[in-house]
Structure 1
Amino acid sequence: MDPPRANLHKVRIPEPTNRIHKDECCVSFDTPRSEGGLYVDMNSFLGFGREHVAWNFEKSENPVYLHIVQRRKPEPDETDRPLKKPTLLAIGVEGGFGEQEPEYDVTYEIVILPEFLSLPFPSVDLPEKVRLAVDKVILAESADRKQQLASWVADKKIISAHAMDLQQLDNGVIVPPTGWKCSKCDKTENLWLNLTDGMILCGRWVWDGTGGNNHAVEHYQQTKYPLAVKLGTITADLEGADVYSYPEDDSVEDPILAQHLSHFGIDFSSLQKTEMTTAERELDHNTNFDWNRIQESGKDAEPLYGPGYTGLVNLGNRYFEKQSLKAAFAISQADPTLDLNMQMTKLAHGMLSGKYSAPSQEGQEGIRPRMFKSVIAASHPEFSSMRQQDALEFFHHLIGKVDQANPGNHELNPCTGFKFIIEERVQCPSGKVSYNQHCDNFLTLSIPLHEATNKEQLEAFHEKKAAMDLDGKEVSKEEIVRPRVPLEACLASFSGGEEVPEFYSTALNSKTTAIKTTGLKTFPDYLMLQMHVYIDVPDIIDISHMRSNGVQPGEELLPEGASCGNKAEPARPVADEDIVSQLANIGFNYFACQKAAINTSNAGIEEAMNWLLSHTGDPDINEPISQDPMPAEDTIDEASLQTLVSFGFPEDVSRMALKASGGNIERATEWVFSHLEASSSVSADSSTNNVKDDDSNISDGSGRYKLMAFVSHMGTSTHCGHYVAHILKDGRWTIFNDNKVAASVDLPKDMGYLYFFQRISS
């Protein structure tokens, strides 16, 4: 046996539990379709590109590799290929949006290092063990396939638990085949038939003026009748009918829908489709003004290639791109597919090197950061699922993970530049003050709607909409007018004073109304802002006026913890009825208005409106408020507390969130994100609350910033839809829309969800 073949005994036959990485290199984005193909280590089953396979050999001393090469087949004539209409709310998956996957020819060979000796496969000259091992690798499902790929697609409808034993009232209701109208208003579209009592009612109200008046939802809240079907979606093909389960809060399947319809005299076989289903309505967002504007659809944009212009396939959360430049992580000696530092390094190289962004006739293919997603989402129940998540929540999660992977390594931590210290100053009527500090990495700004610059257009729009509502008509998406509020007004609102009712003063030994002002003790290298409503954003901002300088000469601090024993037990918060009634008159659900007032501490109509606009997609937004007693601080479940802390939230904020949400982790997480500006306690138990981070590890400098990037969201909720990023690179704005990278032509700077500013050097 010649020396190279003598190494074949080191080949290992994979077990069913082995992870076979045959789709992509573990330390780069090379694939079998790359010029050099992919080399699969036949002992560890890790895959490596041509540039890195020798490194693996030196590290592992495994000499035998399966070399996989895929080459694209010539495509058939486009005229012979039928155009498929999307049927799924998905991008880049079968049935969704995107191009059809091309076909490839695949070749295999055995390669022995370090000589790179090639042995053909299949070949009868190879030992049986080698042939068996290679066959198993080829036939095995790859590690990537086993992962739940991140995709924008709704889960298959479940059969409702309420369908088979649904009680239908014998009330004599017969539903006509046409001429439907809401039983409580004049709406003639977006109508839902309750399958228990036959009531026809309009659907949910949408904040932009579309949709119904919530009558179907309110009817369920009053009666608890669980199932409704959307009229206009019922045809001879009952599988296409849109059935909604209120207690399950989802579109569902009703196996005996024909029987339920027959109860109300409906002959489904004679009906025609006149309305979009819920999923189709989501799909329709792809053609409305906002989606086309954000994606710059229809513009003759110049494709961009090269370093820093690499697109990501099916991944919207890519806003940390430039900060990856600071990463200089060490190479792990363990499994590189499970190491966060390794996968961050791989991602940074893949995006910034330009290796995977070369011009071609097919356009840029982009990179698929599946291993990165697998590592960053490990053990997280939401991010590891197929469900789309809020980009801001992912960003917060990412920073926490990177911090954990690099404890004490501030210089090499790419997330350090986002951190800053918020300082809150509270002054009670005694004139004494308290200061509280907490560390954060982004600001959520409330929107002062009274500062809108287009008040006349807004008033005209509301008058027109009211008139059309009386006529039973709806305004078109193109006619909708949204408030335009300058960013400067939002920043001023953040740092302006606000009243704190029921504040316990340790100087007065009683509850009183205090005044709280908020500022930044430090200014970060990169300032991230979150917006819930479209605003006007300038290229340059100056937040120097928001600097908080701590205790000033002549100020007297409130006593620490004096007479704490006299503090009354916290009472359940009560909503301000004036705020609730004003919001309800606009069209919001009454229970939702109560929650908005309570969660904004009855601060005012604008604050409550902002809260509502950012929580319209909450599944329980219209549910009555629980009357269960609020848990005391010493009864908070420690496991829940540690779960929130593991998400990266400070312990004191986590405690407040759990108290405010009745101990529910999901609601507590939402509470944190909606109370970032008031997440630190304002009680006078402690005059100064020092942040845990050493101030010396948090950057500080000038308060002048330049807009460098923003992320826009398209969809009815941040937990569904699509994200697009615009980044200022080399003096011009570039749009990153999945794997499509091009020069921006019509910059939608006023339509961002997350904005990123970089400090301007003095």
Structure 2
Amino acid sequence: MALEYLQSLDRNVISTPSESTPIYKDDCMFSFETAFDDSGLDICMNCFQSFSRLGFNYTKQHSEYFNHKVYLNYRKIVKHQNLRQSEQPLKMVKLEIKEQTENDLYDIKTQIYCSDIDESIDFPREDIPDHVKECASAIIEATSNDKQQEIKAWEQEIVPCPHSFDIKQGKTKDFDLTQCHECGLKENLWICLTCGSLGCGRSQFGGVPGNSHALKHYESNPTHHIAVKLGSLSLNSADSYCYTCNDDVKVPDLVNLLGTFGIKISETVKTEKTLTELQIEQNVKWDFNMSDENGESLIPVFGEGLTGLKNLGNSCYLSSVVQVLFSISEFGSAFHIEEGMPVEKILNPGNPALDLETQLFKLGDGLLSGRYSVPDEATSESVKFQKGIRPQGFKTLIGEGHPEFSTMQQQDAFEFLLFLLEKIDSQKLTGVSNVSPTQLFNFVVENKIKCPNCSGVIIAKEITNNIRVPIVDNVVGTDENGRKLYEQVTLKESLLNWIAAQDVEYTCPNCDGLVKATKTEGLTAFPDYLILSPQRIKLDNWVPVKLDVPIKFEEILSLDDCVSPGLREGEHIIEQQDAKNSFLFDESAMNTLLGMGFPENRCKRALYATGNKDAEAAMNWLFAHMEDPDIDEPFDPSAQSSSKSESEQEVQSLISMGFTETLSRKALLMTKGNVELAVEWLFSHPDDDGVLPEVEADESPEEHIKRLEANSQPGDNYILKAVVCHKGASIHSGHYVAFIKGKVDGVQSWLLFNDEKVVRATEDNLREIEKSGYIYLYERQQS
């Protein structure tokens, strides 16, 4: 029957893909069913998108709505010898490239499915029409779109640092290269490239011993920047570490430098694991404790809202943030309905893979429905965790065009959270809600500058969705490995530091001179959900380092002390026209930047561009804008505030790329004038006609502030809802997990989301929050 049906079809019902045609064959466009499911995936032989007949039968819906009748049913069965390999998470980097075809890894089963008659025929077979065979073969042979978007081989990008180019060595002498010169340890040995001193390294994961004598040598000789691990040396490997930069580096003239000490790389044999190998081993085996106090594995939990996310390779920052957002009832309900994907999204003639709202609905169904939160019976592990869903489509789309989130490297979870919220807000995505779920996090901060001479004040209010709180890093000692130990702090203390008055230099319009003014901050409106991030990154000798300051685990937080006092008795407002040239640059940040050698105009420009927050943000901005043509021109803050979100220059920039003026203006409007986001929007909406919908005008920032203040009063406590934790020496390496308060079998408890593993958290787990909490989410408790 199916054969006769195929023979009777017009040839134009089926089209053969070209080499550049994206073919989706990893999971369903609207759900997380995959080719590994018993029913496989149905790949449309007209548009080459994949659908599943499980659950909501998206194949049938696509067929009915778009009249696409013929599909290649595609199934994968893992070969037995590759079963254990497939269980390993793709963490960190791979040390070698070993290209394997799908036929090496899986048994591939294919059929031609005819949706009109709901019948299938095995493929390949000779009597199938040639144009059907040609199309099916092209689909089978093609690399899937998701695979094309992945980086197939991951290597840490190790580059030279400034200290690696000019290493001055002293006179040569006989060197003992067999043991640490201080303690006699015979492994984990690091040689100083400047003087040849041999010291043991820090103790490392997996029981590698070390007493940090190489580090102590550097601390006594701060110009001896770089050391090399002897056991890592071979023609293909060499661990070089710069203590000043606190990072792995590449040394351009390493062969000759080591030759000074009689070391010939061509004759050495690698005897120890490299740092990269140790890092992979550490990440694959799990950074946080996944066992209880007795050493027993934690028991996984399953059900609605308890679905894990498969690690795609350094994607734990994304997984942790997504788990926290979808744990918020208002956010989850905006992008999840019981019927699966909303019909209007299925009817959208565009590409679902390029529509962020579709991807959010897909995530909502995957994370909250519970359909995928089931034990993985295919594994050989005694404790059966779940497979976890693979958010590859979401990761590819959300990171497209971004210099960091488009890579397979570890990223900052807090930066990603703000980036994702901005994307949802700028594209005006509301799901099935009447308002954007990003509104849940908005609140108003009031900044006040007061002149001590005339008591004149300038008050400015801004809408924000997070607070980066400073933390005091009082060192109280060191551990056995020489790492600093810090005094415990509380978030409340850190918030009080955030609102504390600061002395700043200020040109008062009334006094017509430079004065020592005071700057204070406070809240005038409060969010439904409060995002806090302790500032764990600090510049140490101009190198960013992470502070492992313990923050007391407190589940209740009051913001009563953070309320802005407003205008006090005896103070008067300086009129805006008098204050327009009196933008106040943060004195501490300005002095830090000037001390680093940056010219004053550059410092002012950077602080203004980064919201006058801190020296680190301004420094990063400066490094990214060194080549700006106006970087050294005199800086006038009052001239910076009049640019429109839809300037003619930005419009012309998009037009020069080949977009129409109508589309360009709409894209800029939809992305609040951000040209890069506008380009992404244009490519993700190829069928848009550029016509703006008839909607009510957006409220102005002033109106938005008044609305927030009218609907938000102080006095309510905030209850800790979730914490994203980070373990590792740098935010851009290590591992992220999420602790979320939720229900299992009707019982409220803390849950630990570690990629695809979801377990009840123990007291031991919760202690990790104090040491590694990086993003805190508090829910407002209504009185």
TM-score by length of structure 1 reads 0.72
Q: Find the aligned partners of 2:486 and 2:531 in 1 and give their Cα distance.
A: 23
What SS class does the counterpart of residue 455 from structure 2 fall into?
coil
Q: Give ranges in structure 1 of 5+ residues lacking alignment.
A: 222-227, 451-457, 466-474, 581-589, 603-607, 622-627, 655-688
User: Within 1, Cα distance between the matches of 2:640 and 2:191?
Assistant: 41
Distance (Å, rounded) in 1 between the aligned partners of 2:749 and 2:96: 35
Amino acid at match of 1:700: S
- Which of the numbers 495, 498, 503 marks the counterpart of 2:502? 498
Aligned to 2:541: none
Distance 1:646 1:93 in 2: 43
Q: Are 1:547 and 2:563 counterparts?
A: yes
| Alpha carbons 2:188, 2:231 under 8 Å: kept | no
- Matching residue of 2:730: 717
Q: What RMSD over aligned residues (CA atoms) do the two structures have, in Å? A: 5.3
Deviations 1:487-522 (A, max 9, x none): 2211222222222x2112122111111222211111
**Is 1:727 aligned with 2:727?**
no
Distance 1:567 1:742, change over 3 A: closer
Is the contact made by 1:37 and 1:67 (CA closer than 8 Å) also made in structure 2?
Answer: yes
Task: Please tell me whether the aligned partners of residues 713 and 722 of structure 1 are also in contact (alpha carbons under 8 angstroms).
Answer: yes
Q: Does 1:327 align with 2:331?
A: no
**TM-score scaled to structure 2, two decimals?**
0.70
Q: Secondary structure at the match of 1:521?
A: strand
Match of 1:303 in 2: 300
Q: 1:383 aligns with which of 392, 395, 405?
A: 405
SS in 2 for 1:394: helix
Q: Is the 8 A contact 2:724 2:737 kept in 1?
A: yes
Q: For residues 284 and 142 of structure 2, what CA distance do their matches in structure 1 show?
A: 41
What secondary structure sits across from 2:486 in the alignment? Answer: coil
Letter paired with 2:491? L
- Mark the CA change 1:514 to 1:647 in structure 2 (over 3 Å): closer, same or farther: farther
Aligned 1:381-530 pairs, distance under 5 A = 381-406=403-428, 411-429=434-452, 430-449=454-473, 459=476, 461=477, 475-476=480-481, 481-499=485-503, 501-530=504-533
- Structure 2 CA distance, aligned partners of 1:162 and 1:575? 25
Q: Deviations over 1:366-416 (max 9, x none)?
A: 011111111111221211122221011111110111012217998342221
Residue in structure 2 matching 1:743, options 743, 747, 760: 760
Matched, 1:696 2:712: no
Of 114, 122, 125, which aligns to 1:123?
125
The answer on 1:761 being equivalent to 2:782 is: yes
Q: Tell me, in whole angstroms, the C-alpha distance in 2 between the residues paired with 1:37 and 1:357.
A: 19
Tell me how far apart the structure 2 counterparts of residues 647 and 394 of structure 1 sit (CA, whole Å): 23
Per-residue CA deviation, residues 238-268 of structure 1 (Å, 9 max, x unaligned), is 3232246899997566798545533443245
Among 231, 234, 257, which residue is 1:233 paired with? 231
Equivalents in 2 of 1:749, 1:162: separation in Å? 36
- By how many angstroms is 1:303 displaced? 0.5
The code of the aligned residue for 1:498 comes to Q
Secondary structure of 1:219's counterpart equals: coil
Q: 1:733 Cα shift?
A: 1.0
**Counterpart amino acid of residue 115 in structure 1:** I
Aligned equivalents of 2:398, 2:371: Cα separation in 1? 24
Equivalent pair of 1:193/1:200 in contact (CA under 8 Å)? yes
- Tell me: CA distance 1:714–1:570, structure 2 relative to 1, closer, same or farther (3 Å): closer
Tell me the equivalent position of 1:53: 59
Query: Does the CA contact (< 8 Å) of 1:438 and 1:691 recur in 2?
Result: no
Aligned identity (percent) is 25
Q: After superposition, what is the alpha-carbon deviation per residue over 1:607-627, rounded to whole angstroms, capped at 9, x for unaligned? A: x9x989x99999999xxxxxx
Q: Is the 8 A contact 2:442 2:527 kept in 1?
A: yes
Q: Structure 1 residues 205 and 567 mapped into 2: Cα distance closer, same or farther (>3 Å)? A: farther
- Trace 1:204-353 onto structure 2 (pairs within 5 A): 211-212=215-216, 219=223, 230-233=228-231, 235=233, 237-243=234-240, 251=248, 257-268=254-265, 277-280=274-277, 282=279, 291-293=287-289, 298-314=295-311, 315-316=315-316, 317=318, 318=322, 319-323=324-328, 324-328=331-335, 331=345, 332-353=348-369
Q: Give, in whole Å, the separation in 1 of the partners of 2:229 and 2:619.
A: 23
Whether the aligned pair in 2 keeps the contact of 1:202 and 1:215 (CA below 8 Å) is no
Amino acid at match of 2:50: G
Q: Which amino acid aligns with 2:332?
A: L
How many Å apart are 1:139 and its aligned residue? 0.8
**How far apart are the structure 2 equivalents of 1:205 and 1:558?**
57
With over 3 angstroms needed to count, the CA separation of the structure-2 counterparts of 1:190 and 1:539, relative to structure 1, is farther
Query: Residues 396 and 93 from structure 1, CA distance in 2 versus in 1: closer, same or farther, beyond 3 angstroms?
Result: farther
Instruction: Report if the CA contact (8 A) 1:378-1:384 is conserved.
Output: yes
Describe the superposition over 1:672-721 as per-residue Cα deviations: whole angstroms up to 9, x where unpaired: xxxxxxxxxxxxxxxxx965845436863553111111111122211122
Answer yes or no: is 1:13 the counterpart of 2:16. Answer: yes
In structure 2, relative to structure 1, the CA distance for the partners of 1:333 and 1:421 (3 Å cut) is: farther
**Number of matched pairs:** 651
How far the C-alpha of 1:24 sits from its partner, in A, is 0.8
Asked if the contact 2:373–2:386 (Cα under 8 Å) also holds between the matched residues in 1, the reply is yes
- Distance in 2 between the 1:504 and 1:649 partners? 35
**Would the aligned equivalents of 1:174 and 1:265 in 2 still touch at CA under 8 Å?**
no
- Closer, same or farther: CA 515–354 of 1 in aligned 2, 3 Å: same
Task: Report the residue type matching 1:306 in the other structure.
Answer: G
- Pair 1:280–1:22, CA change in 2 (3 A): closer
